[in-house]
Amino acid sequence: MSVKFRGNKKDSQHKVIPEDTRIRVLNFHHQRFVVGLAWETIKAQRNLMKEVRKIGRQRNLDVVAIRQADSIQAGFAPKTTQRLRGGYSLIVTLASLLNGCCIAVVPLGKNAQDEEEFTLVGRTDKGAIHPISDTIYAENAIQQVVVDLKQELRGNKQGMEIPVYGDQSRFAWVSDDLNLLDLLNPVNIKKAFKLKPLTWGMTKAQLIMLAITIVLITIIGLIINQYYEQKAQERRQQVLAQMRLQEEINKKARYQAALDKLKHPWITTASVNDFIKGCQHDLHKLHLSIEGWEPATVLCNQSGISANYNRPENSVATSDAFVKAIKKIYGTDADFNITQTSMSAFSVNRNLPPNGDDPLLNMGDQLLAVISLFQSVNIPASFTAVPIKEVKTNEQGEELPMQDWQEYTFEVETNVPPDLIFKSRELHGVRLNSIIYTLGDNGRSISYKLAGSVYGAR
């Protein structure tokens, strides 16, 4: 049984090329790609080609292309003077080589009326070909066809982005370039994209004789095969057992790979106290004046520091002297600003010892402890929850491990030194990600901006 896709409302909304002139043949890399097949969904799950050939005989059709995705689709071509056998279906090829839900617009050149013509493929999320694909449209209709096709492909997912592949230099509504020469490279073309003949091109008597020959060969083959079947049965059982074992191994490997992605992020970072000590050590190594330049701000994070120096007003200090001095003192290159020439900066890297996997404590208790810590020194703080992206199953439908921790980030600005804020105790599951030191009065006053994370059990 089969259900036709064509003949729906879209046929009355857009200018469609007549049936007898819709077939086009394009050539890429000496291979022929056929456009203009009539697509149907084939419901028969067994004896697929038998059902397809039955449809071909009833309608006097010539060749067919098969596309298997979430359903089985067949694209038929009528008998024509054009050489279709041995060619490939362009729509099946594009639907197979492109990924995800998308649209591809393909130019076909001009028709007899000197009108530019196009065809397109609409690929659903599950890889099926949308019914209005493989039809030939005039240039003045193609944009509306794409607009309507996007709407149908989205269905109830109205926010979904659907890329449109085509010629961006020609159509402003095309989102991505479609390079057919690269895409249709022979290494990408598979036998499954090829058109299959619905008849063998023989007379009825020849077909009968060929059928008899095939039956005789089949009988002989069955007799020979029966001898080997008994021995092969045991081997098949062994292969099936090995396949089941391998699938179980693969399943465990997929689960472990997902588990590895959920490793606690605080394992590789330094504790709060070690981080503050590392920042203080780096800060004390900074000179309060380098060739007349004075420090303004210093950013300290887990990987090192980045210091910004300013050139005082009415100073004769120069950028080249500063750059040379930084290279000599710190062994690194300085960045000088070509738009604000009174500013320069440099960075110094270092490694802090990671604190490892802290105990996973209750998230509410964690937040309460950190909020109270800041309140005890009269520092206002804001906390923001980091969203968790849940993926419960993989592509095989297997359950995946879930993230067992939650993260909140915080930022505070204060004049209280960080070592005095955190001197009372070491907080498990708390990390400082950065400290920005703002120096004033030639280094005699400092304000601090702290950014960090609080981790706890979900």
The residues, any chain, with a CB within 8 Å of residue 16's CB and separated by 6 or more, are 135, 136, 137
58 burial type by CB count under 10 A (0-12 exposed, 13-18 middle, 19+ buried): exposed
Between CA 61 and CA 55 the distance in angstroms is 8
- Count CB neighbours of 20 within 10 A: 8
pLDDT, position 370: 93
CB 93 within 8 A of CB 99: no
CA distance 53 to 63: 9
* Sequence-ordered strand ranges (E) for 182-281: 196-197
> pLDDT by residue for the chain (458 residues), tens digit each?
222 333 333 433 344 444 446 789 999 999 999 999 988 888 877 788 888 888 888 888 888 889 988 888 988 888 888 888 889 999 999 999 999 999 999 999 988 888 999 999 999 988 999 989 999 999 999 999 999 999 999 988 888 899 999 999 999 999 999 999 999 999 999 999 999 888 765 545 546 777 888 888 888 888 888 888 888 888 888 888 888 777 777 666 666 665 566 688 888 899 999 999 999 999 999 998 999 999 999 999 999 999 999 999 888 889 999 999 999 999 999 988 888 889 999 999 988 999 888 888 999 999 999 999 999 999 999 899 999 887 777 777 777 788 888 999 999 999 999 999 998 667 899 999 999 999 987 667 899 999 999 999 98
**Cβ atoms within 10 A of the Cβ of 129, count?**
27
Cβ atoms within 10 Å, residue 202? 11
Which own/partner pairs from 245-252 qualify as long-range (CB within 8 Å, at least 24 positions apart)?
Answer: 251/396, 251/398
Q: How far is CA 29 from CA 33, 63, 65, 92, 196, in A?
A: 10, 22, 20, 17, 20
Dist CA 194 CA 175 (whole Å): 29
- 450/436 Cα distance (integer angstroms): 7
Which pair of structure tokens corresponds to residue 408? 């909140």
Alpha-carbon 227 to chain mean position: 51
Average pLDDT, whole number, for the chain?
Answer: 85
How high is the pLDDT of residue 203?
44
Distance, CA of 84 to CA of 301 (rounded, Å): 65
The pLDDT of residue 200 is: 61
Longest CA pairwise span in the chain (Å): 106
Helix (H) or strand (E) holding 159: none
Boundaries of every domain in the chain? 2-197, 204-261, 262-458
